[in-house]
């Protein structure tokens, strides 16, 4: 999936000014981005989250990291069922598997009432045998909307998720602790 827009928006930090990082809360990702994407509404910042088949095109998201030199990127992607009518989702690429670590519910407020709006699932990338990649180098948080926010008319709306992929490296750790 070669797309010049992807390269452009990833290399200039999603159109944000120098020194500003796209770092939304879990709530903001669900309400302002994923909800709007699923319902066809405009996004607050159209270039901050990249459309990319994270589970199908194994090298596409890695290439975007190489081109941008960022350690965290956000992607809209579609889930794929393992079997036609089943509920299980296939998170395997030609280079490895995204293994689930934990799951967390995300809540918002409707007036004074606390309402579940979605979930956040954490994954780590496990490379296949023979792939030159360190285990634990990649961590992903997958955000999904709760059924109450999905479009009943659009049967595929459940398939969209936002993935925040983090490249774990010594440089990442050092950068976060330089100011200590």
Distance from C-alpha of 59 to C-alpha of 1, rounded to nearest angstrom: 10
The domain 4-177 belongs to what CATH superfamily? NAC domain (2.170.150.80)
The β-bridge partners of 140 are 123, 165
Provide the whole-model pTM.
0.79
Taking a C-beta distance cutoff of 8 angstroms, is the pair 95, 58 a contact? yes
CB atoms within 10 A of CB 71: 16
pLDDT one-digit tens code per residue, 93-120: 778 888 888 899 999 998 999 999 999 9
pLDDT one-digit tens code per residue, 52-87: 988 876 678 888 888 887 899 999 998 887 777 767
């Amino acid at each position: 999936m070669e797309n010049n827009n992807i390269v452009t928006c990833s290399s200039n930090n999603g159109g944000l000014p120098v020194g500003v990082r796209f770092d939304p809360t879990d709530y903001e990702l669900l309400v302002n981005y994923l909800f709007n994407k699923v319902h066809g509404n405009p996004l607050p910042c159209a270039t901050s989250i990249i459309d990319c088949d994270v589970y199908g095109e194994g090298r596409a998201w890695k290439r975007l990291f190489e081109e941008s030199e960022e350690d965290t990127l956000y992607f809209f992607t579609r889930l794929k069922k393992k079997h036609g009518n089943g509920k299980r989702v296939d998170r395997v690429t030609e280079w490895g598997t995204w293994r689930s670590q934990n799951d967390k519910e995300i809540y918002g407020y409707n007036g004074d009432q606390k309402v579940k709006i979605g979930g956040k699932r954490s994954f780590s990338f496990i490379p296949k045998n023979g792939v030159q990649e360190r285990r634990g180098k990649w961590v992903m948080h997958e955000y999904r909307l709760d059924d109450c926010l999905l479009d009943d008319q659009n049967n595929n709306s459940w398939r969209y998720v936002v993935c925040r992929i983090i490249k774990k490296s010594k440089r990442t750790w050092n950068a976060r602790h330089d100011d200590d």
